[in-house]
């Protein structure tokens, strides 16, 4: 089956710094999604990507759908304390309509 | 606008007892519905999904079952809980041919 690798596992950054994380797949994805989860809550959708090469922003967040369709990147600029949480990538493959495969998550900790 | 509800929010049950978790969606019709389990705050495991009333697909053989008695209601059940059933259970929906999934607030289940 498809494998989805997300890195890094965790990041400790200072307020104001930029954050980058990525996901790679062993096979082609049609859709990439990025979620953020706060402790004890359900994941919240941040950005959805549907086309190879697509670059989409949501405030200080920017995500890209890789040209090879096997990877995606999420950048957070000028981090603030409320950026703390776990960020998940998710992808929908060519043979798994309606189902998403999730990365293991990137834990982001922001220090003042 | 669409909203998704889950209850209870938290549950502590003894081993061998039954389980029933409920998920309902408002503001949409004929959604795809999903049950996930999340252990230790990382990694979402798809348990069941449903594309319509009475239609359930199981992703992982386990001690759990799911039912969809109404269009916007999804229930997760067990006849006898195991210690390994402890975790954070998330319900999600998608619709309109789109692949974005939207999550509920989750149920924290502790089996003692």
Which of the four pLDDT bands, split at 50, 70 and 90, describes residue B62? Answer: confident
Residue range B75-103, pLDDT digits in tens: 999 999 999 999 999 999 998 677 899 99
Which of A8, A33, A35, A37 has the most B C-beta neighbours within 10 Å, making it the best mutation to test the interface with B?
Answer: A37
The C-alpha atoms of residue A93 and residue B76 are separated, in whole angstroms, by 26
Would you tell me how many other CB atoms lie within 10 Å of the CB of residue B43?
15
Chain A positions in Cβ-Cβ contact with residue B105 (cut-off 8 Å): 41-42
With an 8 Å Cβ cutoff, are A104 and B42 in contact? yes
With an 8 Å Cβ cutoff, are A102 and B103 in contact? no
**B84: three-class secondary structure by DSSP:** helix
- Closest CB to A43 among B51, B94, B103: B103
With an 8 Å Cβ cutoff, are A100 and B99 in contact? yes
């Amino acid at each position: 089956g498809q494998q989805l690798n997300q890195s890094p596992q965790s990041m400790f950054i200072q307020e104001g710094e930029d954050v980058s994380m990525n996901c790679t797949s062993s096979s082609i994805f049609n859709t990439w999604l990025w979620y953020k989860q706060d402790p004890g809550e359900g994941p919240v959708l941040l950005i959805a990507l549907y086309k190879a090469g697509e670059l989409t922003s949501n405030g200080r967040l920017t995500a890209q759908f890789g040209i090879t369709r096997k990877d995606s990147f999420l950048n957070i600029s000028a981090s603030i304390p409320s950026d703390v949480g776990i960020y998940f990538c998710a992808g929908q493959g060519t043979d798994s309509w309606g189902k998403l495969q999730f990365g293991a998550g990137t834990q982001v900790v922001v220090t003042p | 606008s669409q909203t998704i509800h889950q209850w209870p929010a938290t549950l502590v049950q003894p081993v061998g007892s039954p389980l029933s978790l409920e998920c309902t969606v408002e503001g949409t019709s004929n959604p795809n519905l999903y049950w996930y389990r999340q252990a230790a705050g990382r990694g979402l495991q798809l348990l069941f999904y449903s594309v319509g009333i009475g239609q359930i697909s199981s992703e992982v053989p386990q001690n759990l079952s799911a039912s969809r008695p109404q269009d916007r209601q999804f229930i997760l059940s067990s006849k006898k809980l195991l210690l390994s059933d402890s975790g954070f259970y998330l319900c999600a929906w998608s619709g309109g041919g789109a692949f974005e999934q939207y999550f509920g607030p989750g149920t924290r289940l502790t089996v003692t």
